[in-house]
Amino acid sequence: MPLATVNGIALNYQVKGDKAKGSDIKGAAPLVVLVMGTGSPGRVWELHQVPALVAAGYRVCTFDNRGIAPSYEAASGMTIEELVRDTAALIEFLDEGPVLLAGTSMGARVSQELALARPDLVRKAVFLAGHGRLDQFQKTLSLGEHELDASGVKLPPKYEAALTAVMNLSPATLADTNAARDWLDLFEFTGGPVPAGIRAQRAMDHDFDRLQAYRGIKVPCLSVGFADDRMIPPYLAREVAQVIPAARYQEIPDAGHYGYLERPDAVNKVLLEFFGG
């Protein structure tokens, strides 16, 4: 991935297209920009969403948000406004806007704010596990996670893997012995110390309510809830669609917070239908 200097920082990004279809050339096809959630690099989209979008004829940009190396680490802290400006500056740098935009969790919030602040850069937007506020459980969970980071306490790997699974996966996935084993092994393998940049992402303000502000979003939007999401319950995603004029809401069953990984075919179908409609 190349590094771009945008909004005064370095962002690690990549743009992909299909050479056989000619969409590997700048401007040859609509550009989709995907914004990842807290603690994850942009390459996570490469598992399922990028191949499906490229195969459908789109160009796709993924990138590492500030806080995710090798992008600017921002270990001293960051704000949602900075993340929004980063994304806007990257779109301007690529000079292929207005773009089709999709984000998940924190990335959905970035996408919502970008659609509000810079409608000139956004053609359509999809919010996976979007939210205009957090309820008391999410606030307490986020603050507890931040306190755990600050304490330096290290959870046993298997216990940490089990917690990650129960908070991010659907019970339908965990009821499948083989799928549960694979996910738990993955979480155990990828666990470990949390880098400073990810701790800074986790420590961002959790006491916000942007629902009334989102009434000002004018671009076409789709808010997607994951039916079994414990991190961002689907009713929070539904609220976003209810306040944005003409926005739609769609819910994906048997999917937790990692629905784009658990139910990639369903998520890809939603993205392709909305972007192509």
Match 């994906």 to its residue by tokens.
252
Q: pLDDT tens-digit profile of 165-211?
A: 999 999 999 999 999 999 999 999 988 788 999 999 998 988 899 99
Q: Please report the pLDDT score of residue 1 as a whole number.
A: 67
Q: Please report the pLDDT score of residue 125 as a whole number.
A: 98
Q: Output the CA–CA distances (angstroms, integers) from residue 272 to 47, 82, 223, 261, 263, in the order listed.
A: 16, 29, 14, 16, 14
Q: pLDDT tens-digit profile of 191-200?
A: 878 899 999 9
Length of the chain: 277
Distance CA 87, CA 92 (A): 9
Q: Please report the pLDDT score of residue 218 as a whole number.
A: 97
Question: Cβ(5)–Cβ(72) under 8 Å?
Answer: no
Q: Please report the pLDDT score of residue 205 as a whole number.
A: 87
What are 81's two structure tokens? 């406004």
pLDDT at 148 over 90: no
Q: Output the CA–CA distances (angstroms, integers) from residue 178 to 168, 217, 234, 257, in the order listed.
A: 17, 43, 27, 20
pLDDT at 154 over 90: no
What are 251's two structure tokens? 């819910």
All domains of the chain, ordered by start, with CATH?
A: 3-135+208-276 (3.40.50.1820), 136-198 (no CATH)
Mean of all residue pLDDT scores within the chain: 96
Sign of CA dihedral 15, 229, 237, 73: negative
Per-residue pLDDT, averaged over 269-276, amounts to 98
Q: pLDDT tens-digit profile of 211-268?
A: 999 999 999 999 999 999 999 999 999 999 999 999 999 999 999 999 999 999 999 9
Q: pLDDT tens-digit profile of 21-75?
A: 999 999 999 999 999 999 999 999 999 999 999 999 999 999 999 999 999 999 9
Q: Is 175 helix (H, G, I), strand (E, B) or coil?
A: coil
Per-residue pLDDT, averaged over 127-139, amounts to 95
What are 118's two structure tokens? 């810079």
* pTM of model > 0.85: yes
Q: How many CA atoms within 13 Å lie on the side-chain side of 122?
A: 27
pLDDT at 156 over 70: yes
More confident residue, 243 or 97: 243
End-to-end CA, the chain: 31
Q: Please report the pLDDT score of residue 277 as a whole number.
A: 87
76 — pLDDT class (breaks 50, 70, 90): very high
Per-residue pLDDT, averaged over 108-116, amounts to 98
Catalogue the active-site residues. Answer: 105, 229, 257
Distance CA 61, CA 194 (A): 26
